[in-house]
Chains A and B, each alone.
Chain A
Amino acid sequence: KNQVEQSPQSLIILEGKNCTLQCNYTVSPFSNLRWYKQDTGRGPVSLTIMTFSENTKSNGRYTATLDADTKQSSLHITASQLSDSASYICVAYYGGSQGNLIFGKGTKLSVKP
Chain B
Amino acid sequence: ETGVTQTPRHLVMGMTNKKSLKCEQHLGHNAMYWYKQSAKKPLELMFVYNFKEQTENNSVPSRFSPECPNSSHLFLHLHTLQPEDSALYLCASSQDGLAGIRTDTQYFGPGTRLTVL
User: In the complex the two chains form, is B101's CB within 8 Å of A103's CB?
Assistant: no
Q: Please name all residues of chain A whose beta carbon is closer than 8 Å to the beta carbon of B107 when the two chains form the complex.
A: 46
Q: Please name all residues of chain A whose beta carbon is closer than 8 Å to the beta carbon of B101 when the two chains form the complex.
A: 93, 98-101
Q: Please name all residues of chain B whose beta carbon is closer than 8 Å to the beta carbon of A89 when the two chains form the complex.
A: 42-43
Report if A86 contacts B (CB, 8 A).
Answer: no
We find that the number of chain A residues with CB closer than 8 angstroms to chain B is 25
Report if B46 contacts A (CB, 8 A).
Answer: no
CA of A41 to CA of B108, assembled, Å: 12
Quick one: given A32-B102, A98-B101, are A43 and B42 in contact (CB under 8 Å)?
no
We find that the number of chain B residues with CB closer than 8 angstroms to chain A is 24
Proximity bits, B50-62, A CB within 8 Å = 1, else 0: 0000011000000
Proximity bits, B67-95, A CB within 8 Å = 1, else 0: 00000000000000000000000111000
Give min CB distance, B42 to chain A, whole Å. 4
User: In the complex the two chains form, is A45's CB within 8 Å of B108's CB?
Assistant: yes
User: In the complex the two chains form, is A105's CB within 8 Å of B2's CB?
Assistant: no
New A-B contacts (10) at CB < 8 Å, excluding given A42-B108, A43-B111, A103-B43: A31-B102, A32-B103, A41-B110, A42-B110, A46-B106, A89-B42, A93-B102, A99-B100, A103-B42, A106-B42
- Chain B contact residues, CB within 8 Å of chain A: 2, 4, 40-45, 55-56, 90-92, 100-103, 105-111
